[in-house]
Amino acid sequence: MTAVEIDHRLAARLPETVRDHGVPDAALTVVDADALRVSELPGDPTVLIANLPYNVSVPVLLHFMETFPHLQRGVVMVQAEVGERLAAPPGRKTYGAPSAKAAWYGPWRLAGTISRQVFWPVPNVDSVLVAFERDAESRGDEELRLRTFRIIDAAFQQRRKMLRQALAGVLGGTAAAASALLESAGVAPTARGEELSIDDFVRVAVAAGTFSDGA
């Protein structure tokens, strides 16, 4: 097991705690670092298990999925609001940029609820377990991922607007140019970001790359 812990005191104490519980020879490696800045993990672990604080849940998950392609599956505990967003399908009110970006790597689903009563002190929110599995094949290279994520961000920054308006700034500079590109990708210019799946966003990104290359 490889554990990542930002608190220096806890990181130092964790091996002692494991030994105190009767496992002196445990195969445990503690990485004393900020999970948002970790770029290497010893042993190339394939499963992620985590209890993530609310304010960094999505950034940590996306960073780990991007940085460590050997992570194939996992279960994380997050606050209920975050978990519902991660697992939301297109069309749901909770579907947004985190949902679409997480889906780039594979499917996510709610795997259980955690009562606030199991924590001390009792928080004001409930938590959920979210499970994921990485798709066997990547949707594209790093350039396509970055382009797709820029389009996702633009779509949800103005989620009430139609895509031809919300994406004008990243797809040609005008609503007319955005409409033409969206139509070439098979996406209705009058749709809104919350209606698009990750595959829809990827098609738009591919079309945007083709347009840029042709220009």
User: What's the confidence (pLDDT) of residue 214?
Assistant: 43
Is the per-residue pLDDT at 12 higher than 50? yes
Residue 11 belongs to what H/E stretch? helix 8-20
- Average of pLDDT values for 2-28? 91
DSSP string, 145-207: HHHHHHHHHHHHHTTTS-HHHHTTTTTTSSHHHHHHHHHHTT--TT--GGG--HHHHHHHHHH
Q: Give per-residue pLDDT as tens, 86-98.
A: 999 999 999 999 9
Burial of 11 (0-12, 13-18, 19+ CB in 10 A): middle
- Report the 10 Å Cβ neighbour count for 77: 18
Q: What percent of the chain has pLDDT over 90?
A: 83
* Mean pLDDT, rounded, of the chain: 93
Residue 164's φ and ψ, nearest 5 degrees, are -60, -25
User: What's the confidence (pLDDT) of residue 56?
Assistant: 94
Given strand 108-114, what is the order of strands in its sheet?
47-51, 73-79, 127-133, 108-114
* CB contact at 8 A, 101 and 62: yes
Is the per-residue pLDDT at 107 higher than 80? yes
The radius of gyration computed from the CA coordinates of the chain, to the nearest angstrom, equals 20
Give residue limits of the domains in the chain. Answer: 34-133, 142-214
Q: Give per-residue pLDDT as tens, 35-62.
A: 999 999 998 999 999 999 888 999 999 9
- Average of pLDDT values for 10-33? 91
The CATH number of domain 142-214 is 3.30.565.10: no
Q: What percent of the chain has pLDDT over 70?
A: 98
Q: Give per-residue pLDDT as tens, 151-185.
A: 999 999 988 899 999 999 999 889 999 999 999 99
pTM of model > 0.75: yes
Q: Give per-residue pLDDT as tens, 143-156.
A: 999 999 999 999 99
User: What's the confidence (pLDDT) of residue 212?
Assistant: 56
Select from 60, 59, 94, 97 the least CA-distant residue to 80: 94
Non-local CB neighbours of 125 within 8 Å, separated by 6+ positions: 54, 79, 80, 81, 116
The CATH number of domain 34-133 is 3.40.50.150: yes
Cα–Cα distances in Å, from 45 out to 42, 49, 71?
Answer: 8, 11, 6
- Taking the CA of residue 152 as centre, how many other CA atoms within 13 Å lie in the half-sphere pointing to its CB? 25
Is the per-residue pLDDT at 67 higher than 50? yes
Task: Give the pairing type, strands 47-51 and 108-114.
Answer: unpaired
- Please list the residues that pair with 79 across neighbouring strands: 127
